[in-house]
């Protein structure tokens, strides 16, 4: 069996989390381009990635180094709203970064969540992944990098506590009913997220501290703490967290 590699890196604050992540994604993409391959990344929603996107667009040194032409952007999850909606994860990434950098439009693979049928949205995106990565029936997409956030309730992507999607092992993307929002979310499933070359969690803020301790230090109870489902099978897992979020970790 492959050895599991998990790293927890603690940095000063949310800004440092975002900057470290931005620098990391540029160097991963450059490494991939050296071998003349596309770099594929799945983005998440949330406040920390938003800062990271803004840094990638605003910091001229980073923006100029990023090989935008060979980077393909996907989303790990999306809200069931049209792309111009204020809740849209695509809209957030587009406003903060994609519309402001020289990325070819065909490299942007958004979840088409304007379709009122959430199940259909998920099926369409699964088809898009199968087509892009040329997957056989039982293959998983090999993302180079997946960014994830973690909610104070322990959710990640749109894998919320107690929801059906947590148990999905066949599908790549599913619609997931979330009671507390009384709406569907569209989300990649745990097997897809776990098949990435590197999974990077971005976590900041004191309101995440207790949950982070439970996720990292308590026994596995993934139905309550879905972030514990993330255990890459072939790649690395990096928790990039700020001091406030890490304040309750005991190191055990
Ligand atoms: C979303 C997300 C979600 C997010 C976490 C953390 O669509 O909301 O993808 O999983 O990453 O809720 O969000 P924050 O970084 O804003 O706390």
Ligand 1 centroid, distance to 152 Cα (angstroms):
9
Q: Tell me the per-residue pLDDT of 156-186, one tens digit each, with 9 for 90 and over.
A: 999 999 999 999 999 999 999 999 999 999 9
* Residue 2 scores a pLDDT above 80: no
Q: Tell me the per-residue pLDDT of 48-87, one tens digit each, with 9 for 90 and over.
A: 899 999 999 999 999 999 999 999 999 999 999 999 999 9
Q: Which residues line ligand 1 (CB under 6 A)?
A: 44-48, 77, 89, 149-151, 155-157
Q: Which two tokens stand for residue 94?
A: 């587009």
Ligand 1 centroid, distance to 121 Cα (angstroms):
20
Per-residue pLDDT band for 221 (boundaries 50, 70, 90) equals very high
The continuous run of DSSP H or E covering 240 comes out as: strand 236-242
Q: Which pTM was predicted?
A: 0.96
Nearest-CA residue for ligand 1 atom 2 is 45
Neighbours of 104 (CB within 10 A): 11
Q: What is the 3-state secondary structure (H, E, C) of 54-84?
A: HHHHHCHHHHHHCCHHHEEEEECEEECCCCC
């Amino acid at each position: 069996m492959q050895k599991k590699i998990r790293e927890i890196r603690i940095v000063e604050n949310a800004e440092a989390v975002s900057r470290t992540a931005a620098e990391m994604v540029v160097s991963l993409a450059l490494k991939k381009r050296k071998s003349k391959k596309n770099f594929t990344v799945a983005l998440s929603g949330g406040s920390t990635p938003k800062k990271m996107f803004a840094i990638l667009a605003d910091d001229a040194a980073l923006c100029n180094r990023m090989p935008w032409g060979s980077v393909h952007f996907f989303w790990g999850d999306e809200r069931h709203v049209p792309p111009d909606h204020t809740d849209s994860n695509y809209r957030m990434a587009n406003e903060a970064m994609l519309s402001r950098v020289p990325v070819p439009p065909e490299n942007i693979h958004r979840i088409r969540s304007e379709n009122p049928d959430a199940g259909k949205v998920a099926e369409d995106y699964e088809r898009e992944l199968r087509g892009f990565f040329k997957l056989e029936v039982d293959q998983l997409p090999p993302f180079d990098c997946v960014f994830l956030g973690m909610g104070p309730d322990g959710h990640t992507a749109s894998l919320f506590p107690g929801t059906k999607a947590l148990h999905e092992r066949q599908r790549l993307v599913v619609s997931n009913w979330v009671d507390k929002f009384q709406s569907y979310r569209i989300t990649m499933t745990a097997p897809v997220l776990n098949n990435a070359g590197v999974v990077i969690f971005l976590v900041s803020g004191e309101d995440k501290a207790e949950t982070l301790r439970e996720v990292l230090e308590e026994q596995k109870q993934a139905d309550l703490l879905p972030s514990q489902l993330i255990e890459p099978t072939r790649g690395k897992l990096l928790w990039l967290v700020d001091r406030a979020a890490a304040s309750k970790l005991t190191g055990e």
